[in-house]
Structure 1
């Protein structure tokens, strides 16, 4: 993992963990122990799923820049399939409050996405490759 990828992960994981603690407390107050379990499961799921995305794209970036988009889309599709199987397998489980779980997942997902977006907006990342010293070309369409 590149240092920049670790910073991306850290910049999103820390606010999500703090929001997760708030979700555990809030769900505990509103739904009791089932709410606490729901919020903990939501925090684990959101953290694991988004971390997998960052790691997959980071690994793909080492291979080539063109591999990053397929890695992101592929990890997304796999996560959706795993989530679908897990939710249908846990459909009748009464160990946690399903509403607390759903709201916690939604809130923690928003926190993660906003934290990542904030990181990218505040970080100056070059998106144009600078030409090497000998690679300077005349702009197209000018004096030939």
Structure 2
């Protein structure tokens, strides 16, 4: 993972964890241990989903840049399918509070996307790698032909 990718990932993950911790405290105060569990599960689910997606996209972008869009769509599809499976599997559970889970997950998603956007705007990354000019490879025009002072 390149440095700018890691900086963007930290800029999204840290605020999301902080917001998830605050939401967990609020959920514990409002719904007890079930609320705390729901908020923690929602926070962990969002952080894991988005972090894995960012890591996969960074790896694909480094190794196969033309496939980044396809990898982004694939990771999004996998996240939706896995989230659907989790919601079906835990749909009627009493292990955690569903409202705390849903609200915390929604707030964490917004926090992650905001942190990711801000981090992406701060990174100065070239979109196109500049190619070296032929003059740079063989010296400048003045070095090849000599300057006026050199000819005297």
- Pairwise same-fold verdict (TM > 0.5): yes
TM-score, normalised via structure 1 length: 0.88
Residue 52 of structure 1 is matched in structure 2 by 52
Distance 1:132 1:81 in 2: 45
1:65 aligns with 2:72: no
| 1:13-24 equivalent positions in 2, closer than 5 A | 13-24=13-24
Distance 1:54 1:123 in 2: 15
What is the SS of the residue equivalent to 1:42?
Answer: helix
Deviation at 1:88, TM superposition (A): 0.4
1:65-110: CA deviation from partner (whole Å, max 9, x where unpaired): 1111111110110111111111101111011111111000000000
Could you tell which deviates more after superposition, 123-132 or 28-37? Answer: 123-132
Equivalenced residues, count: 136
Distance 1:21 1:52 in 2: 20
Computed over aligned residues only, the root mean square deviation of the Cα atoms, in angstroms, reads 1.5
Residue 97 of structure 2 is matched in structure 1 by 97
Is the contact made by 2:39 and 2:104 (CA closer than 8 Å) also made in structure 1? yes
Deviation at 1:31, TM superposition (A): 1.1
Gaps of 5+ in 1: 136-144
Give 4+ residue runs of structure 1 displaced > 3 Å after superposition: none
Residue 36 of structure 2 is matched in structure 1 by 36
Distance 2:21 2:83 in 1: 23
Residue 139 of structure 1 is matched in structure 2 by none
1:11-64: CA deviation from partner (whole Å, max 9, x where unpaired): 111111111110111111111111100110011100000011111101111222
Residue 150 of structure 2 is matched in structure 1 by none
